[in-house]
Amino acid sequence: MASPVLRLTIRGVLARKFRVLLTAFAIVLGVAFVSGAFMLTDSVKGAINGLFDELQGDVDLEVRSRIAFGDEATAQRDPVPDSLVAAIGAVPGVDRVEVNILRQATIIKKNGKPLQTSGPSFGIAWYGSDGLDG
């Protein structure tokens, strides 16, 4: 025989079927949203990681100058000295050395005013390379 508490619970559930159905639906919907958010986060993270792997897949070592001050995410680095580039190129086993310079850039329109953008604008020095030019 069922305990009085269990009988009372079953009677309450049967008396309020719609409330129980809506509660179960809310739980299922909440779990679905949380699962969807995790899946979206993982797929975006995987796409970004895949993009970086594709762009720098053949890079074995990256040499960068120090950040004088500021946050690493927003600070701009000075290029490494030419003497260091030559020294790295002279190391046995080094196939190719490329110098990349990345700076904040402002595009100036014909009227002399800066172009306003909603995101960051960067200028990248491109020197060309047989391995990268197609």
pLDDT at 98: 79
pLDDT at 111: 92
Tens digit of each residue's pLDDT, the chain (134 residues): 678 898 888 888 888 999 999 999 999 999 999 999 999 999 999 998 888 777 777 777 778 777 766 666 666 777 788 888 889 888 898 888 877 777 778 888 899 998 887 777 777 776 666 655 54
Q: Which two tokens stand for residue 42?
A: 């993982």
Closest listed residue to residue 102, CA positions, set 70, 78, 66: 78
Q: Which two tokens stand for residue 38?
A: 């995790």
pLDDT at 68: 66
pLDDT at 44: 94
Q: Which two tokens stand for residue 9?
A: 């619970």
pLDDT at 128: 62
In 1-134, the DSSP E strands lie at 102-104, 122-124
pLDDT at 42: 95
What is the rounded CA–CA span in Å between residue 119 and residue 115?
11
Residue type, 118: S
R_g (Cα) of the chain, nearest Å? 30
Q: What φ, ψ does residue 31 adopt, rounded to 5°?
A: -65, -40
Q: CA dihedral in degrees (119, 79, 99, 51; nearest 10)?
A: -30
Residue type, 124: I
pLDDT at 32: 98
pLDDT at 41: 95
Q: Where on the phi/psi map is residue 76: left (φ > 0), alpha (ψ -120 to 50), or beta? A: beta
